[in-house]
Structure 1
Amino acid sequence: MGNAFLRWREPAVRLLSRAVPGDVLWFVDTREPVFALTFDDGPHPETTPGLLDVLREHGAKATFFLIGERVRTHPGLVERIAAEGHELGNHLMRDERSVLAPDERFARELAETSALLSPYGEIRWFRPGAGFFTPRMLRTAGEQGLRAVLGTVVTADKDEIRPGSIVVLHEGTSERRGVVAATDELLTAVDLRAVTVSVLVD
């Protein structure tokens, strides 16, 4: 899930969501003109402020799946994300494939990241690093009050987005500065309202 312009076809994702066991949110069935906009791998001073500016300009909201190490390094950015009405999600402590972590470390670092985020608001969702997961990971997350969120579309192409889609984009490094312009273009072009995952679900 590291490429912000990879295209997932929604019908395939819907079939996959039925075939893969576990409580994983891929999309929401709705007729409302809304989709969830999500960003992985932040916060970062070269991407997060620009994204927040673009979201404010468009009156859009998003869920930011944040990495614990970067939360520690940039607490002011986390505070701004929350203060501007966006949602925080758990993306574990490091930018790595969560599925490769031993079970005990996964559980410990999932809890550690939630503890870092919880002062800024309720944490309901987690996204495994690189998008891979096991049933044991889902059970561990459930025991900690978290549900896994993947997505319907990893793209900045409005033609891929439908009501109820969950769009996944990536920030968090200087090389990903282009996500700011891509988000602006997406929100300008799409005829749907961007909301947080919780608003889409609730």
Structure 2
Amino acid sequence: MTNRGFLRWREPATRVLSRLFPGDVLWYVDTAEPLFALTFDDGPHPATTPRLLDVLRRHGARATFFVVGERVRAHPELMERIIAEGHEVANHLMRDERSVLVPDEQFARDLAEVNRLLAPYGPVRWFRPGSGFYKPSMLRAAAGMKLRAVLGTLVAGHNGGPGDQAIAEGLRTSIRAGSIVVLHEGSDKRRGVAETTDELLTALSARGLSAVTVSTLAL
């Protein structure tokens, strides 16, 4: 992460990364349609999720929320609103932690537990490992549950500092058709993600790009 709060992977670089780190992982989608996938990690959370949903509704945008199991249990009303407003939920494991450091057996149990927690909200197709790192054993466990890993083309994390205000500007010029954008919510210090999303969607709409779920982009 840079001091401006974002990390850029342009599509050619992402293609290189996908070869360096093999496995069935979705980094971007080859498409001529003017669509990109907008994703949010680490929710739901009352300080961030409602404001994000308000922004998405105003723009007519759709997103995929990679949710944490502990927070799903704590905030079922937010989960219900995410689904009611046409968004998608995906598996981001039980806790906000580095999944690659979790023993394989525990990883598989946590992945399965979050799937059970998400079952009332519809089918789950995707997972994202905590902090974005993975091992082949993690992909095998996920495949056994019919889940595919999704990382992303561009990643940004708010930290509550002045650099948060530059995130939208830093991202918008790099997003193109087929990009998968990763933003982070789930804590008080990330409240600025709603304003960043608003700014980003306004700028990209002017370029003719629309935000959709990962499933829609991957059709």
TM-score, normalising length: structure 1: 0.97
- Give the whole-Å Cα distance in 2 for the aligned partners of 1:189 and 1:139: 39
**Which residue in the other structure is 2:218 paired with?**
201
CA contact (8 A) 1:10 1:153 kept: no
Deviation at 1:135, TM superposition (A): 0.4
Aligned mate of 2:195, from 177, 181, 185: 181
The verdict on how the C-alpha distance between 1:167 and 1:4 changes in structure 2, with shifts beyond 3 A counting, is farther
CA contact (8 A) 1:127 1:150 kept: yes
- Give the whole-Å Cα distance in 1 for the aligned partners of 2:193 and 2:218: 25
| Residue segments in structure 1 that go unaligned for 5+ positions in a row | none
Counterpart residue type for residue 193 of structure 1: S
How many residue pairs get matched? 202
Q: How does 1:43-82 map to 2 (within 5 A)?
A: 43-82=44-83
CA contact (8 A) 1:97 1:129 kept: yes
| Residue segments in structure 2 that go unaligned for 5+ positions in a row | 157-167
Q: How does 1:6-25 map to 2 (within 5 A)?
A: 6-25=7-26
**Which residue in the other structure is 1:40 paired with?**
41
- Give the whole-Å Cα distance in 1 for the aligned partners of 2:33 and 2:198: 22
Deviation at 1:4, TM superposition (A): 5.3
RMSD (CA atoms): 1.4
Q: Does 1:99 align with 2:100?
A: yes
CA contact (8 A) 1:4 1:170 kept: no
Runs of 4 or more above 4 Å deviation: 1-4
1:42 counterpart SS class? coil
- Give the whole-Å Cα distance in 2 for the aligned partners of 1:193 and 1:112: 33
Deviation at 1:163, TM superposition (A): 0.3
Of all paired residues, the percent bearing the same amino acid is 71
